[in-house]
Structure 1
């Protein structure tokens, strides 16, 4: 198939899109544009293995340096796209160069939400999104350093675990009653709170940051002032209060944007020649019956195959269930499914919650809508099959470790 595909955003989603095009037999021109100077890399190692020192820097890169040239992909790093001219089917970059396309794939990802309090621009206030961010944090997480993490989401807790493992004195400030309560609900969020406290982290809930306080030099961080008047001493403040999809280009071009770029199950946007993948894609999900936007590695890894198939004229809707994972201290976890706040009736636990060896199931109307395995392995396929089956499952059998998961989908 001839023509030209331009992919904007050279992260994992962008790199996997060009890979899927070539593997799918696309023989037209392919251009991959990325604002960062590095070739495409994956982000999980930035807060996990690379940050903790258990993985090398090169392990984060999606492809070897010569892969793009070998597969006739025009990779342009250090190139910021400033506009999409959909009428002319051109992408305009910061040098004024116009690159034409027959199909355009937006893979612009997300960016950290900024902390909007006085002192947030002091030296020593850090965010984690890019490889250079991780380089700087890795060097800064040293023994006896006073590290304050603002935010109790996945990134914040993974950074806290890495800092604690490096011997730093770690405080985590969470606005909610528990970290991750918006994702896991109160039934499971306490598991992670206890995990961090057992490793010496000073985890403070219902904590509202009022100001980042300067040290004696007036330019660097000295502490974090809370609204209750408490000041937490700090040499380094890491902000992890969520991310926002980078949709400015799509909005300016007139695409349908609503908590991300709205796309159908084939990842086509409101313009039929423009697709979106990864963090920015709010995709119609044929199994879940709703639009879903997921800021996790698995979407960036897997959606590009569907995008490439759509460009190649194949009917292959994206129907993978949302999936994410985390590694913190000696805890490993995988989550699959979709159980938003208010979207489930109860959580059923199979295993030992106190020992943190379990599989948890979120149920709605007797059906499993999501599952999470903690330090229990090789069950994700069975959990996915259970969710996809839509079977009404007996609660006692679901909770019984002696009942094989695979048998629960049987009539």
Structure 2
């Protein structure tokens, strides 16, 4: 949606069609895990007002899948046997949930959480009560654990790493997050994996999760949140390079000038990544979609803003800007508690990333430090009395940046002629 609206703001006045296998109008995905049990109405919050499609001249083709791409004829082949002619095609196919593949055939109470259908099924199962076993201690698993505990459901998280969020946040923040959840009644089984899921002979429902250390966990519902895989099949079938995502340049172009890619599925060069890669965050998808949409309209625009994400857990919000790398120095502010903390990653005496729980002003100041490139010491960052915003003003921005507006709700860009006629 962000790319389609940016095409219009960029001056493209030809036909635009959005093809989506989901028959519903495009809806926001973050509420699926953040407000699953507390606010059912928000589960189908539309991305834009439905009138927008008509006002912007966008054809929404819901309930249709794409079964192939004919690069030679510039046609998109749909699974109902029809085809669309297109001068340019954007692949914004996202990612799919990874499976454990431990059971043969479907198990009705073993669920994933990617779509509104998944969320509806999960809410129905959880209405019956627990125990709930969540496999995966990442953001989705922890958000769901928080929602379940708020509803009084017995909840256990199984994670192969030594701590939750160990990969993106490291051991210090991982330990604080663990303590936050344990204080709310979540049990963790860490540094372990699932070896089997047992069901009775008379039912296909799983009633027990067996861990590789022999632990047996009773389960009424099992949710698997062990990562994702890019939905890059169409790109591969069209002969486009992939490397764990669809390979694009800084403007979203693949090696095939007919095909572009944006969002979670795109393997992009980004100044905050050590090497090209995918960034699986809502805000980045929004901004990357806008940048690529403008580029498709003829206004070449690169996304270089520090990657941002947030995660709602209980009544607190975890936020982060930037990306850490191996070799960075981690600094935790000295007043950190499981209910409120702030951490930084230092690289060459400059802030490369910041993550904080329930301290939005300080996290925003951390973003300013990242963008300014000002030098700062670990002692200054660790001191709760340090005025981070004053330090960020100590130096000018390292270099001028191409600002990306707030995507769908942003201000229109200048119109630009010479764009293709159909996308």
How far the C-alpha of 1:389 sits from its partner, in A, is 2.7
Which position in structure 2 is the counterpart of 1:320? 305
Which position in structure 2 is the counterpart of 1:84? 69
- Summarize deviations over 1:92-147 as a string: whole Å, max 9, x none: 11122111111111100100001121357322000000011111212222374211
In structure 2, how many angstroms separate the alpha carbons of the residues matched to 1:101 and 1:364?
45
Bigger RCO of structures 1 and 2 (CA < 8 A, at least 6 apart): 2
Matched residue of 1:19: which SS? Answer: helix
In structure 2, how many angstroms separate the alpha carbons of the residues matched to 1:77 and 1:69?
15
Which position in structure 2 is the counterpart of 1:116? 101
Residue 291 of structure 2, aligned match among 296, 306, 314 = 306
Say if 2:177 and 2:338, in contact at 8 Å, map to a contact too.
Answer: no
Which position in structure 2 is the counterpart of 1:66? 51
Which position in structure 1 is the counterpart of 2:11? 25
Which position in structure 2 is the counterpart of 1:354? 337
Report which stretch shifted further, 252-261 or 60-69.
60-69
Report which stretch shifted further, 329-338 or 356-365.
356-365
Matched residue of 1:223: which SS? Answer: strand
Report which stretch shifted further, 91-100 or 104-113.
91-100
Which position in structure 2 is the counterpart of 1:223? 208
Matched residue of 2:376: which SS? Answer: coil
Which position in structure 1 is the counterpart of 2:260? 275
Residue 350 of structure 2, aligned match among 358, 361, 367 = 367
Residue 250 of structure 1, aligned match among 231, 235, 240 = 235
The verdict on how the C-alpha distance between 1:122 and 1:287 changes in structure 2, with shifts beyond 3 A counting, is: closer
Which position in structure 2 is the counterpart of 1:172? 157
RMSD of the alignment, in Å? Answer: 1.8
Say if 1:119 and 1:211, in contact at 8 Å, map to a contact too.
Answer: no
Matched residue of 1:32: which SS? Answer: strand
Residue 34 of structure 1, aligned match among 10, 13, 20 = 20
Matched residue of 2:360: which SS? Answer: coil
Matched residue of 1:291: which SS? Answer: coil
In structure 1, how many angstroms separate the alpha carbons of the residues matched to 2:142 and 2:16?
38
Residue 126 of structure 1, aligned match among 111, 124, 133 = 111
In structure 2, how many angstroms separate the alpha carbons of the residues matched to 1:121 and 1:288?
38
Report which stretch shifted further, 199-208 or 348-357.
348-357
**TM-score, L = length of structure 2:** 0.89
**TM-score, L = length of structure 1:** 0.91
Alignment pair present for 1:403 and 2:389: no
Long gaps (5+) in structure 2 = 396-423
How far the C-alpha of 1:289 sits from its partner, in A, is 6.1
Residue 98 of structure 1, aligned match among 62, 70, 83 = 83
In structure 2, how many angstroms separate the alpha carbons of the residues matched to 1:170 and 1:254?
45
Report which stretch shifted further, 348-357 or 144-153.
348-357
Which position in structure 2 is the counterpart of 1:7? none
